[in-house]
A and B are shown apart, each in its own frame.
Chain A
Amino acid sequence: MDNILFYLRRILFIIRKEFLATVNDPKSRVILVVPAIIQTLLFGYVASFNLDRVDYALLDMSHSHYSEELAAHLDGSGIFRRVATLGNTGQMAQFIENGEVSGVIVIPADFADKLVQGQTAPVQVITDGRNTVISSLVYNYVATIAASYNQDLHLGKHLLTVDSITWYNPNQITRWNFLPSLLPMISLIQVMLLSGLSVAREREQGTFDQLMVTPLTSSEILAGKAVPPLVIGLLQALIVLLLAVFWFHVKVIGNLITLFIVMFTFLLSCVGLGLAISANSKNMQQVMVYNFVVLVPIILLSGLATPVRNMPQALQYFTYINPMRFAIDAVRRVYIEGASLAAVSPDLLPMVVITLVTMPFAAWMFRNKLG
């Protein structure tokens, strides 16, 4: 028991020192808070779901009172702006191809007849699937407007339906939510930087030798060096979360504790990776190069921007050693779907494995990296 207390006490001394060293430096203090806020706001707005204006073309083959009323609803929405009124289907291609419109709304010739007869009357929305986000948004907007028109008609039944046809990319992703993914991404970058520099900085400044001649063991130093970046990473994730919830109003569906466990496991694997890089580097410059080389694939192969299943098979195998891939999946599912801990536990396992490999490697490199 005494031994454990002794051990913990020494780890606490290192943690204290690491925090002091980080917080005493005004430059590091700024780095801890400002980028998280700026990046979240930036991503939040740039990767925004809100389309303020949709340019569209109308192909009204019904030429009826009903079709005109529907078009009036669209035009009166304040979002849809009709750029062209088409005469035949052949004209559609050119408008979509050039990107002049985000979608073409086709009202079939029998639209009015069907409505009058009380049959289901479909309206087609043809969108540009090259931008899946916009195309799914356009579809959703049209559907919303059609639904409200349906109500105005007081037909009781939902006769008006909207069929969507997406050109270029039939498998469009509909549930694409960027903000939750920022939790792992922003904290990843910070944690890799902090843990990456921690040993290399000491090597460069000569303090690591001084540390090595004390009775501290490699595992104590490892623990002491792992905790501060972990805590800072979690705080960053918290900043992102607060902004997502209170600024961008993206509600967390799942359990916050589950979310915490996911982030904790993920950041632990990042700290392991960062420390392994750090322990293997002679100086800070080398760490920056390693970090650059490692971070880009981690982010690209994570499914953050493009879904993993769309990647070439060979690269898909690579994603299995990428903790970020599992973190994004788990965070999204907890955040948006409200998945339980048990449901996301298959995502946690690979991250634990990565931690168990990188941490001992880093500790071993502390003493075996040749000076």
Chain B
Amino acid sequence: MTHIVEAMHVSKVFHHTASGHPETALQDVSLTVEQGKITALIGPDSAGKTTFIRMLCGLMFPSEGQLNVLGEDITKKAEEVQDRLGYMPQKFGLYEDLTCMENMNLYADLHGIPEEKRTERFNKLFIMTGLAPFTGRLAGKLSGGMKQKLGLACTLVRSPDLLLLDEPTVGVDPMSRRELWEIIKSLVKEEHISVLVSTAYMEEAELCDDVYILNKGRILAHGTPEEIRNRSQGLSYWMPVPQGIPARVVQSALLDEEEHIEDAVPERGGVRFVIKRGETLADIQALSLYPSCKAVAIPCRLEDSFMMILREAQKRERLMEGFELDYTAKRHISSHVDIHVHNLLRTFGDFVAVDHTSFDVHKGEIFGLLGPNGAGKSTTFKMLCGLLPASGGELSVAGVNLRTARAQARANIGYVAQKFSLYGTLTVKENLRFFGGAYGMSKKKIFERMRVVLRMFNLEGREEDIAGQLPGGYKQRLAMAAGLLHEPKILFLDEPTSGIDPLARRTFWRQITALAAKGTTIIITTHFMDEAEYCDRMMIQDQGKTIALGTPDEVRKRGGDNLTMNEAFIAIVEDNRKKEAEENG
């Protein structure tokens, strides 16, 4: 038996109870997982990854097609198959009030593992996951990364024939992500387990043996990482940027030239771009804007091909008016300080969430707050917006502390929350009207601005739609539209790019670039390290402390030479944790 999983023309249709419309989650998916290999299912959010994995566990059945797991038809022998597979859902059911050991014992009980076999197995798993020193700690007190590792250990109390991992690294910091992957790799080697893992991270897909790209319920491509990567062979370039022009502006110039360019992202202080097959550098007009900068060919990577494949499947959204950009304008950061933070402190009981943090943000800057989950970036963010009182230190936004200032001071800021936080039962138009009113805009002004933002975010024709029923990408655009309705001087964005597909992320950053060029100050948090390259300056927090602050160039160089932001981040955090450990003896 070489095919651990064999899916043939599998489709899944959901019938929505609210709207009554059938929704196709998966369409004609054919896929195989081979013995002893790691197969990756990569794709943006809502591509159908979770649906597919749940069907493999027999938690739901395909609407059409044949699905064999471990040689059995899953629709007929679900229970037998379930005994032989391990499934770790996105949110694993750890009991937070039990210790690591108690959680393990609980799962061992559920799987009927005899007592005498446990000690050896548990020891192995605890050592493998690095949780050995923490067996007596409550699961609720573990960090995000450690929780995921404990979840994995609980899934593995019994060595399964097939391990299904649904986005095991979401919300996990880069170090823990790397460690999790080392664990998975060694499992495959030592126990000959076959693994199917879903992920949204390209660099993780590179670590697998076999990759399927899933988008909107369809398989767009299949192959080894190398095969897929090679689809963009010879098309990838990198170019430096002229002094004084932000990399994001040059990147925008390239990205806007859709007919010749597949993809462009700021990277290592310059711009990485992928040209369309059949084109040459000479065809690209944007390059003539920057005669002093010479593009050099670089090795392609999986993400380049992934973007190419996605672009073939769905057109990138047309950039709407209101985001015009002068591609050659020099960066102008005024000396005016919009946000001033000095020795900011926030404690919850004896837990220090934000530990004496200081930074300034100038008018017109894009300032990024980065860090693993639980590092303190959301807490810092909430204090800046006036949603949470500080325990100590100084804080001013546009000259005032929003928590104590007169209400009118809040008109200076726009706020887009991480989770969709407009009124789900109201229509698009009703939401915008309400927020316009809340900002004290006149009826005429609301009407005017509403037309502008609806056009900017391509929401025209959606005015009467119920906000809560919009597709994910539209919700995010509506949130942006509501945040910008009153033309704020300062825009706060909390994890705006989590949960949207890579094409939408490009569009989003393109919009932010244009807003910043017009003088809007932008504070943004993100857990995508590569997005730090869009920022003028950035701060990395870890365990509440600021461990790096500066331009992306400065931060990258602190980690070492010629690193990507992700690598630099790992280097800096690890270096810092090592130093702290030494200081604490």
* A-to-B contact residues, CB < 8 Å: 6, 9-10, 12-14, 16-17, 20-21, 24-25, 205-207, 209-217, 367-368, 370-371
Given contacts A10-B438, A205-B421, A371-B388, contact A215 B426 (CB under 8 A): no
Q: Which of B388, B410, B425 contacts A25 (CB 8 A)?
A: B425
Cβ of B434 within 8 Å of any chain A Cβ, yes or no, is: yes
Q: Which residues of A contact B276 (CB under 8 A)?
A: none
CA distance A331 to B385 in the complex (A): 47
Closest chain B CB from A209 CB (angstroms): 5
Q: Which residues of A contact B411 (CB under 8 A)?
A: 214-215
The reply to whether A214 and B421 contact each other, CB–CB distance below 8 Å, is no
Excluding A17-B423, A215-B408, A371-B387, 17 further A-B contacts by CB distance (< 8 Å) are A9-B437, A12-B437, A20-B423, A21-B426, A24-B466, A206-B417, A206-B419, A206-B421, A207-B423, A210-B417, A210-B435, A212-B386, A213-B387, A215-B407, A215-B438, A367-B403, A371-B382
The residue in chain B whose Cβ has the minimal distance to the Cβ of A23 is B425
Q: Which residues of B contact A213 (CB under 8 A)?
A: 385-387, 402, 410, 413, 415, 492
As a 0/1 sequence over residues 537 to 558 of chain B, the CB contacts with chain A under 8 angstroms (1 = contact) are 0000000000000000000000
Closest chain B CB from A332 CB (angstroms): 39
The reply to whether B386 and A217 contact each other, CB–CB distance below 8 Å, is no
* B390-413, CB < 8 A from A: 402-403, 407-411, 413
Q: Which residues of B contact A217 (CB under 8 A)?
A: 407
Cβ of B430 within 8 Å of any chain A Cβ, yes or no, is: yes
Cβ of B509 within 8 Å of any chain A Cβ, yes or no, is: no
CA distance A16 to B429 in the complex (A): 13
| A and B contact pairs by CB, cutoff 8 A, 5 listed | A20-B430, A24-B466, A212-B386, A213-B385, A371-B382
Q: Which residues of B contact A214 (CB under 8 A)?
A: 410-411, 435, 438-439
Q: Which residues of A contact B417 (CB under 8 A)?
A: 206, 209-210
CA distance A209 to B439 in the complex (A): 14
Given contacts A21-B426, A216-B407, A371-B382, contact A14 B438 (CB under 8 A): yes
The reply to whether A215 and B423 contact each other, CB–CB distance below 8 Å, is no
Instruction: Among A6, A10, A214, find the residue whose CB has the most chain B CB atoms closer than 10 A.
Output: A214
The reply to whether B421 and A13 contact each other, CB–CB distance below 8 Å, is no
The residue in chain B whose Cβ has the minimal distance to the Cβ of A219 is B407
Q: Which residues of B contact A13 (CB under 8 A)?
A: 433-434, 437-438
CA distance A17 to B432 in the complex (A): 11
The reply to whether B440 and A6 contact each other, CB–CB distance below 8 Å, is yes
As a 0/1 sequence over residues 361 to 404 of chain B, the CB contacts with chain A under 8 angstroms (1 = contact) are 00000000000000000000010011111000000000000110
Cβ of B420 within 8 Å of any chain A Cβ, yes or no, is: yes
Q: Which residues of B contact A370 (CB under 8 A)?
A: 388
Q: Which residues of A contact B424 (CB under 8 A)?
A: 205
Cβ of B180 within 8 Å of any chain A Cβ, yes or no, is: no
CA distance A21 to B198 in the complex (A): 37
Q: Which residues of A contact B433 (CB under 8 A)?
A: 13
The reply to whether B387 and A209 contact each other, CB–CB distance below 8 Å, is yes
Q: Which of A21, A211, A367, A368 contacts B438 (CB 8 A)?
A: A211
CA distance A207 to B438 in the complex (A): 13
Closest chain A CB from B555 CB (angstroms): 29
* B-to-A contact residues, CB < 8 Å: 382, 385-389, 402-403, 407-411, 413, 415, 417, 419-426, 430, 433-435, 437-440, 466, 482, 492
The reply to whether A215 and B439 contact each other, CB–CB distance below 8 Å, is yes
Q: Which residues of B contact A20 (CB under 8 A)?
A: 423, 425-426, 430
- SS of A interface (majority): helix
Closest chain A CB from B264 CB (angstroms): 33
Given contacts A6-B440, A20-B430, contact A209 B421 (CB under 8 A): yes
CB-based closest 10 A-B pairs: A13-B437, A206-B421, A214-B438, A213-B415, A17-B434, A24-B425, A217-B407, A215-B407, A215-B410, A210-B421
Closest chain B CB from A223 CB (angstroms): 13
The residue in chain A whose Cβ has the minimal distance to the Cβ of B419 is A206
Closest chain A CB from B356 CB (angstroms): 20
Instruction: Among B419, B425, B482, find the residue whose CB has the most chain A CB atoms closer than 10 A.
Output: B425
The residue in chain A whose Cβ has the minimal distance to the Cβ of B488 is A213
Q: Which residues of B contact A14 (CB under 8 A)?
A: 434, 437-438
Closest chain B CB from A238 CB (angstroms): 25
Q: Which residues of B contact A367 (CB under 8 A)?
A: 403
CA distance A209 to B479 in the complex (A): 13
Closest chain B CB from A205 CB (angstroms): 7
Closest chain B CB from A32 CB (angstroms): 14
The reply to whether B438 and A16 contact each other, CB–CB distance below 8 Å, is no
Instruction: Among A14, A16, A24, A370, find the residue whose CB has the most chain B CB atoms closer than 10 A.
Output: A24
The reply to whether A215 and B415 contact each other, CB–CB distance below 8 Å, is no
Q: Which residues of A contact B413 (CB under 8 A)?
A: 213
Instruction: Among B382, B386, B407, find the residue whose CB has the most chain A CB atoms closer than 10 A.
Output: B407
Q: Which residues of B contact A371 (CB under 8 A)?
A: 382, 387-388
CA distance A217 to B409 in the complex (A): 11
Q: Which residues of A contact B407 (CB under 8 A)?
A: 215-217
CA distance A371 to B382 in the complex (A): 9
Closest chain A CB from B251 CB (angstroms): 30
Q: Which residues of A contact B422 (CB under 8 A)?
A: 207, 210
Closest chain A CB from B450 CB (angstroms): 14
Closest chain B CB from A30 CB (angstroms): 15
CA distance A212 to B387 in the complex (A): 7
Closest chain A CB from B373 CB (angstroms): 16
Q: Which residues of A contact B421 (CB under 8 A)?
A: 205-207, 209-210
CA distance A176 to B386 in the complex (A): 54
CA distance A210 to B435 in the complex (A): 9
Q: Which residues of A contact B387 (CB under 8 A)?
A: 209, 212-213, 371
CA distance A211 to B439 in the complex (A): 10
CA distance A370 to B417 in the complex (A): 17
Closest chain B CB from A239 CB (angstroms): 24
CA distance A259 to B349 in the complex (A): 50
Q: Which residues of A contact B434 (CB under 8 A)?
A: 13-14, 16-17
CA distance A21 to B420 in the complex (A): 16
Closest chain B CB from A98 CB (angstroms): 55
Closest chain A CB from B470 CB (angstroms): 15
The residue in chain B whose Cβ has the minimal distance to the Cβ of A208 is B421
Q: Which residues of B contact A210 (CB under 8 A)?
A: 415, 417, 421-422, 435, 482
Closest chain A CB from B486 CB (angstroms): 9
